Structure 1
């Protein structure tokens, strides 16, 4: 689920979330792509992590075509659901974050072809 509040040339304010065991988790995020090759989304409000928590994606050209994306995930959990999610992400070395990113990129690829 997501809701768009505002979109500018180099930013967007969005509320997004998903259903999890025990209820939904959500965050209102400020996306910023003003820096070249970088997108950062910072939490302004959430039911699972602290304001100021962020994720950054650094995008560089890949070898042999495509792109290489390096994710920095810095979330401070504030609830039981947030702590469980953080433990899962750390224990799997970011697998849920990578999977979510892959799904989003696949949808983007499909919609532009």
Structure 2
């Protein structure tokens, strides 16, 4: 099992980032590159939770999203072709006095089959850099979305 921990600071408010995280409409991949429209399926959605399948590049997972605490979003993997057990994502937001937001992101990857176990090792080692870049791209895209300038790409 791999547990990856990131911290990031953004100009987006917690509400703005949660809004982006829970926007399951078309074009989601412009903000979250690992969630392509081809895999996206919303099974159920309420005021503060959703049941969504998403993925990309042959990897998918069904996630239970819980954003009942506006400063803490928990995405628990309920099914996947590679992830199982304790897999999921947790986003915790803390407002700063300067108006920025500190984000604490934890990604847990526990493989449920051989492919998942191999991917879990890769994610926990060399894949961490790729996940870091994906998070940075998402933060830039959310910030650009909130400025009304569209999706920003990192050079």
Common fold, TM-score beyond 0.5? yes
CA distance in 2, matches of 1:5, 1:103: 27
1:56 match: 90
Q: Give 5+ residue unaligned stretches, structure 2.
A: 1-35, 149-155
Pick aligned residue for 2:111 from 70, 73, 77: 77
Say whether residues 1:108 and 2:109 are aligned partners: no
Say whether residues 1:95 and 2:129 are aligned partners: yes
> Which structure exhibits the higher relative contact order, with contacts defined as CA atoms closer than 8 Å and separated by 6 or more residues?
2
| Deviation readout 1:5-39 (Å, 9 max, x if unpaired) | 222111111111110xxxx0100101111124111
Secondary structure of 1:108's match?
helix
CA distance in 1, matches of 2:128, 2:95: 22
Q: Give 5+ residue unaligned stretches, structure 1.
A: none
2:51 match: 13
CA distance in 2, matches of 1:53, 1:89: 12
Greater Cα offset, 36-45 or 54-63: 54-63
TM-score, structure 2 as length reference: 0.60
Aligned residues: 109
CA contact (8 A) 2:85 2:112 kept: no
CA contact (8 A) 1:26 1:46 kept: yes
Evaluate the alpha carbon distance shift between residue 9 and residue 93 of structure 1 in structure 2; reply closer, same or farther with a 3 A threshold. same
CA distance in 1, matches of 2:61, 2:127: 22
Evaluate the alpha carbon distance shift between residue 69 and residue 92 of structure 1 in structure 2; reply closer, same or farther with a 3 A threshold. farther
